[in-house]
Structure 1
């Protein structure tokens, strides 16, 4: 930080705080139930979702903490983890931060979670293996505002980060919604519901597999299907190919294994060669136009279509469809098919389905023309889910960075500047599947929340009325190089939200939305842009 806010001090961490490591009593002293004369032993796992309460004799020599104390994880994957809210004796994997009265607990907690503290801690070469000590932290910086400012910052962070946490909770629901949407599409596709209207106009289609229709499976009657449809055994819908070959003969061939396929979606996650994967044992040869199905743990639902040739794991089946390949892939991805295969899996340690059992699985088959129409419709609908998933991944990545962006601003002293409050992220996803309507929609919006006074409470007060600072060489250079200003000037009549600025492909100089706040603030100060609206409706346009 080049310049500290008034009243702030830059100190070394250990000049302000002491670090007290925990103690490790022998396991022979552990009991699992509370007892008089015993004290709770706090371990890293006790601060997670699955605590394991442990109690040890209270001999008066233990390192203890209160619920208000802050502990830091010292070892392995838990290095830097901030723990608080429990009292007891803490073990050697934790260290307590002893603070003076002029440091606010809330401010300290957020500081310890910020990259200002976490980044140098992660760079300690010895921390993961041997744990850090007080000397290791002696070079770390600590930004110390006056106590009242500390409390004010902590309160503001409580409010802002609670909104981020709420957005994260809503965002975390999207993968489940997407999975349900995909399965609802596949269920409609393989039951005839998706093409109900289509059949009314195409009732003359003939099913060429009618002679192979079956009425029951595993001693039970199969569900009713639309006119012209019927169930056939898998062996009548596809051929399972077995063509084992020595991988050493084709080191540059593509190698597919179950871990290369995403569960439930049919997506291939990565393509690697036989040599890159270090393949040694014989593998199945597969060809373009086939389906690759993982027989290991069939409940994981790993199946994909390939338009290239290569080798696949011996734990997978290359499958050649006798019906429309895309339609058969949809059947194999459906919950109904997975339920059938999961019931037939053998072995307990490593479940798998053999060829004999797979060949008996019932496959619902419509006439060929309807298979093509189903493949077209499902492709369109699942493509919408793909768009939503990409937006979800982008939003998640942005949200993951947002906490640190807000914390960084807090410890620069910028948290209360007009353009530094936070972003509010709203998500909406809806999907419906039936014969006449199939939709998947997603709306993602990130709005700037400003502390600028509203015109209804302060007469004639608007941020765009700020007087321009006198132009100098530095300001002229900033105006010349500002990517935000260039974007807004491409269409002076159009106003844009911060999210629109952030997402545009014309900008490639910003890593986080936080940087845009800084640039917008300066552009407003120089009177080069104007702000329209306040709060979540804020937009900006060039003057």
Structure 2
């Protein structure tokens, strides 16, 4: 164990409570607090979804009657208490109960920690959220399906307590520095949404002809009969507008029926394998297929697979030219484009219309949506000359590569920022974030006062117990 800074002391949460058995407690067993007993008003219930690191989420707060709360008062909390999760992923999230709740009841998956009033509670919350505490918690997890820890783990965590005056300085510095980290994180978190809108804007410009205005030169644009329903701007006169069946040879795939299928075991792609513009081939399944079906349903380079359900319209271009035998299931349309259109152009149009929600007008079903072959026959597509299609695809892919590069850099930056918070907390509780003051009262003096308060509390409890026993004996003697 590394040497502690001068004035610091090694201790446990139990050392910081006047009465650990009553001030570091978990919630009631499920038999004592059932979800069916939740009400719309009364005493608030805090659950694990309300507790984050240094943040209380005031959403979906449940309640129990005041009578039930009185019955469970041992498991109550007050504003300012520390709330710690002992179930879930990740474990050991710690926050401070907010002032506006005043008091309430914790569920079985939460520990309520009420330290001695002299301890700086925010400093203690930061300390319990630091990597040192988290590592100890992770070393004592139990459970095969959901990780959990026992109450004793929280009570006996090995923590390093700074002097009281230094606790305050640490909190002030952490509040300042971590606020800056949160600002950076919020800005980084906003970038993926900006990139999403950027990609949508690129596609909208691509399928409307704006992306190649200069390349095409001065060509008049006119309204199309589909402009209102499909929210199209004017269409360049050099472009055509055709229906899906005029441009695509389309069919659904293989019905998955193990009881009826016969033939050779063959790989097939399902709805879950098709992402926007790419395939997820990590979990490709196999099914028995006849020789005729193999020939009819074999994928070739340039085929576009379109989801019939799930997220109707989601599609990707099959780019493999390996010759490997692979087919597709009935939940997918295989669109094999004709000479007037390249496959990427079809994919761009479907994505643009899905983003703009205009593709929805082709969907059937109220709860579960489908894009049937019959509906696809009514799908109109603006068709530029082939050379312009190729130029548009080149430009879109160029812009998308640019967006992908930024996205990758943002993910790296987000990972660094996430690690930065723990690095700052580690530095704080090594005694390196703020300066030590030799005039600070040592933390062991604080522990001595807490220990004395604990002894006094125990003495009072014993005296009260004796007095109660004496009253019972006196009452019994008078009968």
- Which residue of structure 1 aligns with residue 8 of structure 2? 8
How many Å separate the matches in 2 of 1:226 and 1:262?
31
How many Å separate the matches in 1 of 2:415 and 2:231?
48
Assess if the C-alpha contact under 8 Å between 2:253 and 2:332 holds in 1. no
Assess if the C-alpha contact under 8 Å between 1:10 and 1:144 holds in 2. yes
Does 2:178 align with 1:170?
A: no
How many Å separate the matches in 2 of 1:247 and 1:382?
43
Stretch deviating more after TM superposition (16-25 or 317-326): 16-25
Compute the RMSD of aligned alpha carbons. Answer: 3.2
Stretch deviating more after TM superposition (338-347 or 240-249): 240-249
TM-score (norm 2): 0.74
**Structure with greater helix percent:** 2
Deviation at 1:273, TM superposition (A): 5.6
Give the direction of change, closer, same or farther, for the CA distance of 1:178–1:96 in structure 2 (3 Å limit): same
- Which residue of structure 2 aligns with residue 349 of structure 1? 367
Summarize the alignment of residues 420-459 of structure 1 with structure 2, pairs less than 5 Å apart: none
TM-score (norm 1): 0.65
- Which residue of structure 2 aligns with residue 519 of structure 1? none
- Which residue of structure 1 aligns with residue 111 of structure 2? 95
Matched position secondary structure for 2:359 = helix
Does 2:49 align with 1:65?
A: no
How many Å separate the matches in 1 of 2:10 and 2:316?
57
Give the direction of change, closer, same or farther, for the CA distance of 1:131–1:125 in structure 2 (3 Å limit): closer
Assess if the C-alpha contact under 8 Å between 2:243 and 2:380 holds in 1. yes
**Which residue, out of 48, 69, 75, partners 1:44?**
48
Give the direction of change, closer, same or farther, for the CA distance of 1:139–1:49 in structure 2 (3 Å limit): closer
How many Å separate the matches in 2 of 1:221 and 1:106?
54
Give the direction of change, closer, same or farther, for the CA distance of 1:339–1:91 in structure 2 (3 Å limit): closer
Give the direction of change, closer, same or farther, for the CA distance of 1:165–1:368 in structure 2 (3 Å limit): same
Summarize the alignment of residues 383-462 of structure 1 with structure 2, pairs less than 5 Å apart: 383-416=401-434
**Which residue, out of 140, 156, 159, partners 1:142?**
159
- Which residue of structure 1 aligns with residue 39 of structure 2? 31
Matched position secondary structure for 2:402 = helix
Deviation at 1:359, TM superposition (A): 2.2
Matched position secondary structure for 1:103 = coil
How many Å separate the matches in 1 of 2:278 and 2:58?
31
- Which residue of structure 2 aligns with residue 188 of structure 1? 205
- Answer with 1 or 2: which has the greater Rg: 2
**Which residue, out of 294, 311, 326, partners 2:307?**
294
Matched position secondary structure for 1:106 = helix
Tell me how many residue pairs correspond in the alignment. Answer: 395
Deviation at 1:44, TM superposition (A): 3.0
Unaligned runs of 5+ residues in structure 1 are 205-212, 418-543
Give the direction of change, closer, same or farther, for the CA distance of 1:405–1:9 in structure 2 (3 Å limit): same
Matched position secondary structure for 1:311 = strand
Deviation at 1:385, TM superposition (A): 0.8
How many Å separate the matches in 2 of 1:122 and 1:291?
47
Does 2:54 align with 1:56?
A: no
- Which residue of structure 1 aligns with residue 174 of structure 2? 157
Question: What do residues 166-199 of structure 1 show as CA deviations (whole Å, max 9, x unaligned)?
Answer: 1111112112111111111111111111111111
Matched position secondary structure for 2:316 = strand
How many Å separate the matches in 2 of 1:353 and 1:94?
46
Give the direction of change, closer, same or farther, for the CA distance of 1:261–1:174 in structure 2 (3 Å limit): farther
Deviation at 1:77, TM superposition (A): 3.8
Deviation at 1:365, TM superposition (A): 0.7
Deviation at 1:25, TM superposition (A): 3.6
Question: What do residues 59-86 of structure 1 show as CA deviations (whole Å, max 9, x unaligned)?
Answer: 3751322221111122234632223214
Summarize the alignment of residues 100-139 of structure 1 with structure 2, pairs less than 5 Å apart: 100-126=116-142, 131-137=148-154
- 1 or 2 for the larger relative contact order (CA 8 Å, sep ≥6)? 2
Deviation at 1:6, TM superposition (A): 1.3
Question: What do residues 371-406 of structure 1 show as CA deviations (whole Å, max 9, x unaligned)?
Answer: 121111112111111111111111122222221111
